[in-house]
Amino acid sequence: MPVEPVLHQLTIPTPFAVGDVHIYVLKGDTVTLVDTGPRTKEAWESVTAQLSAIGLQPEDIDQIVLTHHHADHAGLVEEFRHAVLYSHQDSDRFLTRTQSFMDMHDFFYREFFKQLGLPEAYLALIEKMKDPLKPMGNRGADAYITEGDTLPGLDGWRVIETHGHSQGHVSLSSAGEMIGGDILLGHISSNPLIEPPFGINTPRPVPQLQYNDSLKKIAALNPGRVWTGHGDPVLQPLPLIQERLKKQHERAMLVKSMLADKETTAFELCQKLFPSLFKKQLGLTLSETMGQLDYLLANGEIKEAGLAHGAIIYRAEGVTEKV
């Protein structure tokens, strides 16, 4: 008889504003680590001490499943060289960070930020946006996982694609339990971060819409508990999901009302929505702003009304032009 995997939560310090990250061990005949923590000395000491407390050495980890590529979740992959590394294919470009990808990454953000109306002076911040990539390992996946996949020794668990917070974000689901990475957090709403497109002539992904679809997918699965990447497990996912979707819709409608007063660029909106935060957290706040615009565009609430100095101008539908 195979041994039913037992779930252990480990809590690991990170150098990021988000605070500690939770990673998970599923210990059965096969030992699976879900996420690794960031690549810092403190995190590694914490991981090894907590593994030891449940009778494991790092060498005992047979396989790693990454919920997503962010450094707080995927930083220590190189410390588990012997373990098979699984991630979604769409996470792999950030795990390997080849020169050609990073060149494309910088080019994409430069052009994209111009379209959002960002003044030239701010384009230097693209370099700063790469800071969170520093505490990452440099190791691509050994095998890709996708919707519905099962993993060796993890009977009853399957992979659910939950894209949005990042491209390639996945969760693991089993009989009412879900390990959800950062797709649903109890204490904060998770950011739909803009990532570069997957091909030269491919449009960029629209993470806010993906994120909402992922929340609806989780609601349909209706797990009894979501083990999170940060904060307490979510014991009542359904009302939280409904609240998250409602709040996002309300925020989008607020953005629409701001567009009714004036045609504006995404960067102008971002400054209004995040007057003090935008300089410190440019990538995050622009992603958040763009998320609301993508949502409104997809629902026909606003439209693109042309270009001004290379920047897209947005206008609320049905609102007449001011003279």
Q: How far is CA 26 from CA 60, 105, 128, 212, in A?
A: 12, 35, 36, 28
* 62 versus 182: smaller Cβ distance to Zn ion: 182
Per-residue string for binding with Zn ion, 247-286, x by CB under 5 A?
A: ----------------------------------------
> Interface with Zn ion by CB under 5 A: which range of 71-79, 161-169, 237-245, 296-304?
71-79
Nearer to Zn ion, 16 or 122 (CB): 16
CB of 185 to Zn ion, least distance (A): 8
Using N-to-C axis directions, what is the helix angle for 237-261 and 207-221, rounded to 10°?
150
| Residue 298 DSSP code | H
Element (H, E) at 225: strand 225-227
Q: Of the ranges 76-84, 166-174, 228-236, 262-270, which one interacts with Zn ion (CB under 5 A)?
A: 228-236
Between residue 126 and residue 155, which ones bind Zn ion under the rule CB under 5 A?
none
Question: Are the CB atoms for 15 and 38 separated by under 8 Å?
Answer: yes
What is the smallest separation between the CB atom of 79 and Zn ion, expressed in angstroms? 18
Determine what percent of the chain falls in helix, strand and coil, rounding each to the nearest 5: 40, 20, 40
Question: Least distance to Zn ion from the beta carbon of 311, Å?
Answer: 31
The minimum distance between CB 33 and Zn ion, in angstroms, equals: 16
Nearer to Zn ion, 72 or 268 (CB): 72
Backbone angles phi, psi at 105, to 5 degrees: -55, -50
Tell me the window of 64-72, 87-95, 158-166, 286-294 that interacts with Zn ion (CB under 5 A). Answer: 64-72
Q: Is 229 in the site for Zn ion (CB under 5 A)?
A: yes
Q: Please name the residue that has the structure tokens 């979707």.
A: 245
182: contact with Zn ion by CB under 5 A: yes
Cβ neighbors of 310 (< 8 A, separation 6 or more) are 114, 115
Q: In this structure, what are the phi and psi dihedrals at residue 220, rounded to the nearest 5 degrees?
A: -65, -35
Identify which of residues 5 and 229 has a Cβ nearer to Zn ion in the complex.
229
Binding residues for Zn ion, rule: CB under 5 A, are: 72, 182, 229
